[in-house]
Structure 1
C-alpha cells in the first residue's frame, strides 16, 4: 500500500498567538502535517508557560498545546523585529494571531501592510468577540466565552446554579473552529488563487454559540428558555446519570422507542412499554421524573458488574463515567493507540491524545512537544539569510 502525503503538507503557518485558543488551532493543523512556526517574545512570557499543569521545572500544558511546532523568538513591536516579521511572511500561507482587536494595527502591522508583504496571506484573527461590534476590543477568556454564549447556563443543577467545566472548553472549541477556518480558507484560495489573501474573523463567543443550534428556535417558537438540568437531558428521555449500588456513576441513553423498550424489559419494567406516559420521546420528556426515579431505583439495587452484564445483553447505550485513569486503561483506546507519546528533549516522552482524524493511507509521524523559547532561532534565522554575527546582534538587542 502506498502512503498518502500528510493532509496539510506544504502549508506553512506562522503562529503569533498566545495561551490556548489560537495556538490550539495551529496545533491541530500541525497534527495534520502543516509546518507551524511558533513566535514568542524573547523573554518567553507567554502566560501558558505558567498555566497548570506544571512542575517546578517544566510547563507541561505548553508542551502539549504547542506540540509539533518549531519555536523562534521575535519582538514584532520593535522596528527591526517588524521588518524581519514582514520578511518571514513572504513565504507563509497563514498567520494566526489572537491579540485584542486593533493591536497589530497599532504596531504598524495592519491588514494592508500584511497583504503588501504577501498578497496571498491568510490571516486568522481569533478574538473573544470578533473584529466589529461594541465588544470588539474587550479582553476575553474561555469562561467569558462559555458564559456569554449560553453554554454555561446549560451546565449545573438548580441547587448549584450555572457551572463551568474544569477545563477551558471555550478556548478549545474556538481552536477547533480556527483549524476548520484555516483548512477551508486554504481550499478556497487554492481553488481560486486570483482572489488573493484575506482576513478570517473568528469570534470565540460565536464559535461556542454555534454549538447551541436549537436554543434560539426553541425560544422563539416554544417560549422555552433552556436552563441547567443537572445530568438529565430536557430534550430526550431517558438520558441521565445514575449511581450503582457500589457507588459507580453510569450515564445511560435510551431515547429511541426501540431502545426504550429493550431497557424496560432489562430492568423489569415491561409495564412501561404500553404506558401512555412513556409511549414516545415527547411523552417521556413530560414525565421524566417518574421515569428517572424508576431507573435510578434499579441502578441503586445493582452493582456496576450486574449493570454492565444486563445492559450489554440488552444492547443499551451506556458507559461508566471515566476519569483519565479509565481512559488510559480502556481497551478501545489501547487498540487504536488513542494515547500517543510525544518526544521531549527534557522528559524523554510524555503522553497526549492522538491526532484526529485518521486517514489509513497516511503514515504516522513522530510528534515532538512544544518548543523551548527560541529553540529553533539559529536554524530558522540562518535559513532566512542572517549570518551568525547578525543573529547574535539581534539577540543582544533583544529583537529575538
Structure 2
C-alpha cells in the first residue's frame, strides 16, 4: 500500500459515477476502499458502454483499486452486517435519495452508534434539504440546472452538453475534498464527533462556474454562450490550420499577447492602443480573432506550433485520445499508465493526479467482477464461517 492516505478505510455503497468517483480518488491516494453492490445486478454503471467481450470498460476506471463485495442493505440482515462492519471504516460514501437509509434502519444515529467518528458523504442531485431533495438526478440534470449547459455552444445555437458527464466527476472531486476536510478536523481532534457531508451535485456544478453569481448580483448580467470565443480574454478562440487540424489560443496578459503577436509576424499589434490591455482586447475580440484565424489558416499545424513555441506564445493542438497517448510530454510523465486487469491482463487509464513525492501513489488494479472479494472480506474481516457466508448468499443478503 502506498500514498498519503494509507491506513484510511472507505466503504463505498454509492452507485453510477459521482460517489464512486470520490471513493476512487481516495483510493488513488492510498485509502483502502471496499465497494458494496446489490447482489445479482450490481451497480448500474456495469451496464454503461463501452464494453469489450461483455466486460464494462468505464467500470474498470471508476472502480479501480477497490475491493468488491455484495450486500443488500434493504434486507434487515444486510443492514445488520453493514453496522457490524462499520467500526472498521473511517468513511462511508452513499448516494441514495434522502431518507432511504433511514427507512432501512441505517439513519445517522445508528451509523454513529456503530462508528462514532464516521465521516458520511451523501452525494445527491439536489442535497438533503429543499423542495427538490427527492428528485432523481444525472449529470445532464446537474449541468443543465447548475448553469454549465447554458454557457456551452454557439451564441445563436442551442445549449450543448459535453460528450461526457462532466458534472459527475466534478461532484466526485468536491466529495473527496469534503471528506479530506472532515478528516483534517478529526486529525486535529481525535475525539471529534462524526461528520455528515451534504454534497449537492447541482451546487457543485454551479461552484465550478465561479463568478456567475457575483456578475449577476452586481451587474445584472446573465452570461450567454459565445461558442469557442473566450469572453474574458482576447485573442482566444479555436482556429483551423491550413492542413485541417484545430488549435486553441489563450493568453490574457500583455506579455503573452505580445508573444502571440510575434508568433504570427504581427508585432505592430502590440503597440496599437486598441489592444493596450486585456479589457481593451476583449472589446476588439472579433477583429483580433480574425487576424489570428487567417494566419493559422495559411499554415500547417507543425508550422503554427513551431512559431508559437519560438516566440513563447500560448497555443495548443486540440487532441483526441490517440494524440494524447502519442504526445511525448504526456508519455514522459506517464499521464496514462498500465493497470493490472483480471480480464485483459492490463488496461490503460489516466494516472493518479496530483503526484506526491514523499508518498507516491499507484493504481493497484482495475475495477473487477461483482462480489469477487466476498469470501475473503466476510471471512477475514467479519469472521463469518463458510456456512454462514453460504447461508447469506442463498438468502440473497450478499
Query: Which category of TM-score, normalised to the shorter sequence, fits these structures?
Result: over 0.9
Matches within 5 A, 1:273-292: 273-292=270-289
**Which residue does the alignment assign to 1:398?**
396
Deviations, residues 65-120 of structure 1 (Å, cap 9, x unaligned): 10000001111110111111100112110100001111111111111111111111
Matches within 5 A, 1:352-371: 352-365=349-362, 367-371=364-368
Between the aligned partners of 1:305 and 1:226, the Cα distance in structure 2 is 36
**Which residue does the alignment assign to 1:388?**
386
The equivalent position to 2:80 in structure 1, one of 78, 83, 89, is 83
Matches within 5 A, 1:111-130: 111-130=108-127
TM normalised by structure 2 equals: 0.97
Confirm or deny: 8 A CA contact 1:100 1:139 kept in the other structure.
Answer: yes
Displacement of 1:192 after TM fit? Answer: 1.3
The equivalent position to 1:72 in structure 2, one of 69, 74, 99, is 69
Confirm or deny: 8 A CA contact 2:234 2:250 kept in the other structure.
Answer: yes
Between the aligned partners of 2:62 and 2:358, the Cα distance in structure 1 is 26
Confirm or deny: 8 A CA contact 1:161 1:228 kept in the other structure.
Answer: no
Between the aligned partners of 1:268 and 1:332, the Cα distance in structure 2 is 27
Between the aligned partners of 2:167 and 2:360, the Cα distance in structure 1 is 32
- Number of equivalences: 397
Is residue 190 of structure 2 the alignment partner of residue 189 of structure 1? no
**Which residue does the alignment assign to 1:132?**
129
Between the aligned partners of 1:29 and 1:69, the Cα distance in structure 2 is 10
The equivalent position to 2:301 in structure 1, one of 289, 301, 304, is 304
Stretches of 4+ aligned residues off by more than 6 angstroms: none
Between the aligned partners of 1:117 and 1:274, the Cα distance in structure 2 is 69
Displacement of 1:128 after TM fit? Answer: 0.6
Between the aligned partners of 1:124 and 1:49, the Cα distance in structure 2 is 22
Deviations, residues 130-153 of structure 1 (Å, cap 9, x unaligned): 101111111100011111111111
Displacement of 1:332 after TM fit? Answer: 1.1
C-alpha RMSD over aligned residues: 1.4
**Which residue does the alignment assign to 1:225?**
222
Secondary structure, counterpart of 2:182 in structure 1: helix
Between the aligned partners of 2:362 and 2:245, the Cα distance in structure 1 is 38
Displacement of 1:228 after TM fit? Answer: 1.1
**Which residue does the alignment assign to 2:46?**
49
Distance 1:363 1:190, change over 3 A: closer
Deviations, residues 225-281 of structure 1 (Å, cap 9, x unaligned): 111111111111111111111111000113211121222233232332232221111
**Which residue does the alignment assign to 1:331?**
328
Distance 1:213 1:81, change over 3 A: same
**Which residue does the alignment assign to 2:373?**
376
Displacement of 1:162 after TM fit? Answer: 1.1
Is residue 259 of structure 2 the alignment partner of residue 265 of structure 1? no
Distance 1:179 1:288, change over 3 A: same
**Which residue does the alignment assign to 1:167?**
164
Confirm or deny: 8 A CA contact 2:65 2:365 kept in the other structure.
Answer: yes
Secondary structure, counterpart of 1:381 in structure 2: helix
Worse overlay, 269-278 or 148-157 = 269-278
Distance 1:263 1:50, change over 3 A: same
Displacement of 1:365 after TM fit? Answer: 4.2
Unaligned stretches of 5+ in structure 1?
none
